[in-house]
Chains A and B, each alone.
Chain A
Amino acid sequence: GAVVSQHPSWVICKSGTSVKIECRSLDFQATTMFWYRQFPKQSLMLMATSNEGSKATYEQGVEKDKFLINHASLTLSTLTVTSAHPEDSSFYICSARDDRGWTEAFFGQGTRLTVV
């Protein structure tokens, strides 16, 4: 299967600062990537769909100015949590759709964000 790398694996930041999370497809091109948020022992909630070369599509209730998504190349999407607050602490996971037509999505290893 295809490999998706997410960086960093964990990050601790102070309230009010911004944090950038990277999602890379290592051995395939991904026009479309997805960002999810997961609370402890809960399911994954889709935040947004990231499209290379165009604006991301956000799910209802997700603040686009809070969670900035940039998909500048076919192998990289970034999620920036701006002016982070403790309630933004969570596990963030990205997934990518292989442009070659795989039917399943491939997931990064996730990023544990803690805002103090």
Chain B
Amino acid sequence: AQSVAQPEDQVNVAEGNPLTVKCTYSVSGNPYLFWYVQYPNRGLQFLLKYITGDNLVKGSYGFEAEFNKSQTSFHLKKPSALVSDSALYFCAVREDDYKLSFGAGTTVTVRA
């Protein structure tokens, strides 16, 4: 079975500082990896994906992620965090039939 792990429950950063949310994966075959963000009492918003190609993937709202095959990681990054980036972030891997397996989630708090 395919899975992802998010080792940090919480990440706290100051506004304007770089933000990194970690994700590692375990798959058989080529990974289809995704990052989603969730605001309170809302559904999930798609941020970015890695399917194939360049290891550095750029997504919505200034976020990017780096796919690292040797370290089986897909960390989410933003060079300069905003207070409005405070939310719950999920890493996910796509299984057969488009089912998604999610990590436990990381709560990001950006302080002003």
Contacts and interface: CB of A to CB of B under 8 A. Distances in A.
Interface in B61-112: 88, 90, 94, 97-105, 107
| Residue among B45, B49, B98, B103 facing the most chain A CB atoms (10 A cut-off) | B98
B52 to A, nearest CB: 10
Nearest to A91: B41
B97 A43 contact: no
A43 B98 contact: no
B25 interface: no
A112 B40 CA distance: 11
A52 to B, nearest CB: 14
Band of interface residues on B: 20 to 34
Nearest to A4: B43
A49 B99 contact: yes
Given A97-B98, A109-B43, A103 B32 contact: yes
Main secondary structure, interface of B, reads: strand
Main secondary structure, interface of A, reads: strand
Contacts of B99: 34, 46, 49
| Residue among A6, A104, A108 facing the most chain B CB atoms (10 A cut-off) | A104
Nearest to B107: A41
A6 B34 CA distance: 22
A104 B34 contact: yes
13 contacts: A9-B41, A10-B41, A34-B99, A41-B105, A42-B105, A44-B102, A49-B99, A103-B51, A104-B46, A105-B100, A107-B36, A109-B42, A110-B42
